[in-house]
Amino acid sequence: MGSWITGKTALLGLFGSPVEHSVSPVMHNTAFEALGLDFAYLAFEIGTDDAGKAIEALRTFRMRGANVTMPLKAAVVPYLDKLTPAAKLIGAVNTIVNDNGVLTGHITDGEGYMMSVRDAGLDPAGKKMTLAGAGGAAKAICVQAALDGVKELSVFNRDREKAEKLAELINRNTDCRAKAFGLDEKEALRRELAESCLFANATRVGMAQMEGQSVIPETDFFHSGLAVTDAIYEPEKTRLLQMAEAAGCRTLNGLGMVLFQGAAAFRLWTGREMPVELVRKKLFQK
Ligand code: NAP
């Protein structure tokens, strides 16, 4: 890797911490190499205190742009020149595009989620969706789902107040009608799922120390007309997805979301389509 780098190669990067396990450098460099594009992508370990310096460096090095991950997604916002409508609503970015010194912040996480859902042949537009979570991933998914025409959204979160704030944001700024619940409101959860075509887990439940746990308590909360997605992709099949499969639901893990958020950023920087299938194979079918 790297044999194509010349004096004209444009630099892209990932800013955040930790970044060493990110799939983004391999994703983008694989695509640049496959399409013969003169770009290179590196990961930079940067903490919140250095957000401003990182953006200044991006300008100084005339980088084409960057991806931004935790804990910088909101911290870089004050240093950018423009934000897309979704990034403005969310107050965070995951992609920066540098157009001759003008830096625009985009958020492609929610777009990646919706693209992965549509790629799987599902379209929640005009229908009802239920989601667990109210953190960064949940916000990005909810805002994009609402902008893409989902008619009703039911948001469940452990901290109910955060769900209420997210529902308010959706109701104030989009045509989608959103309602908020606590994750412990089990009967409401059962009812909202019965009326939904899509359920998204955007909490951390199911990964790391919470591997083996599920935000949905019992298999009988599902119905066969419900597609169930998990933003988590390690483990590949969370307890939630195992339960949903047992109930006959279509399931999707978070690989598609990570892949398509990258594809959306790739398009913004290069104007080209990422060879998604090639990248998917390289990253996830070892
Ligand atoms: P975050 O901003 O820290 O939000 C964490 C969310 O998880 C909150 O809603 C939190 O609820 C909930 N949570 C944490 N521990 C919980 C518990 N024990 N019981 C119930 N809820 C709990 O994190 P994030 O960035 O949104 O990430 C959320 C998940 O999405 C992670 O698993 C992450 O890996 C995944 N993700 C995937 C992608 C992708 O591309 N596939 C992209 C981004 C994130 P409270 O508000 O009540 O604390």
Cα distance between residue 123 and residue 284, in whole Å: 24
User: Regarding the domain delimited by 10-107+257-283, which CATH topology (the fold level of the hierarchy) does it fall under?
Assistant: Rossmann fold (3.40.50)
Indicate which atom in ligand 1 lies nearest the CA of residue 134: 9
Q: Atom 20 in ligand 1: which residue has the minimum CA distance?
A: 158
**Whether 151 contacts 174, CB under 8 Å:** no
Ligand 1 geometric centre to CA of 202 (Å): 5
List CB contacts of 14: < 8 A, sequence separation 6 or more.
22, 24, 25, 41, 42, 43, 44, 66, 67, 68, 69
Question: In terms of DSSP bridges, do strands 95-99 and 82-83 run parallel, antiparallel, or are they unpaired?
Answer: unpaired
pTM for the structure as a whole: 0.94
Q: Is the peptide bond before 71 cis (omega within 30 degrees of 0)?
A: yes
Indicate which atom in ligand 1 lies nearest the CA of residue 258: 40
For the annotated catalytic residues, the residue numbers are 73
User: Regarding the domain delimited by 110-253, which CATH topology (the fold level of the hierarchy) does it fall under?
Assistant: Rossmann fold (3.40.50)
Cα distance between residue 118 and residue 149, in whole Å: 13
**Whether 238 contacts 230, CB under 8 Å:** yes
How confident is the prediction along the chain (286 residues), in pLDDT tens digits per residue?
A: 556 789 999 999 999 999 999 999 999 999 999 999 999 999 999 999 999 999 999 999 999 999 999 999 999 999 999 999 999 999 999 999 999 999 999 999 999 999 999 999 999 999 999 999 999 999 999 999 999 999 999 999 999 999 999 999 999 999 999 999 999 999 999 999 999 999 999 999 999 999 999 999 999 999 999 999 999 999 999 999 999 999 999 999 999 999 999 999 999 999 999 999 999 999 877 5
Site residues for ligand 1, CB cut-off 6 Å: 109, 133-138, 157-159, 162, 183, 202-205, 207, 210, 231-233, 254, 257-258, 261
Same topology, domains 10-107+257-283 and 110-253? Answer is yes
Tokens standing for 28?
A: 């983008």
Give the mutation target among 204, 210, 229 for probing the ligand 1 site: most ligand atoms within 8 A of CB.
204
Q: Which amino acid is at 52?
A: G
User: Within 13 A of 200's CA, how many CA atoms are on the CB side?
Assistant: 28
> What ranges do the domains of the chain cover?
10-107+257-283, 110-253
Indicate which atom in ligand 1 lies nearest the CA of residue 204: 32
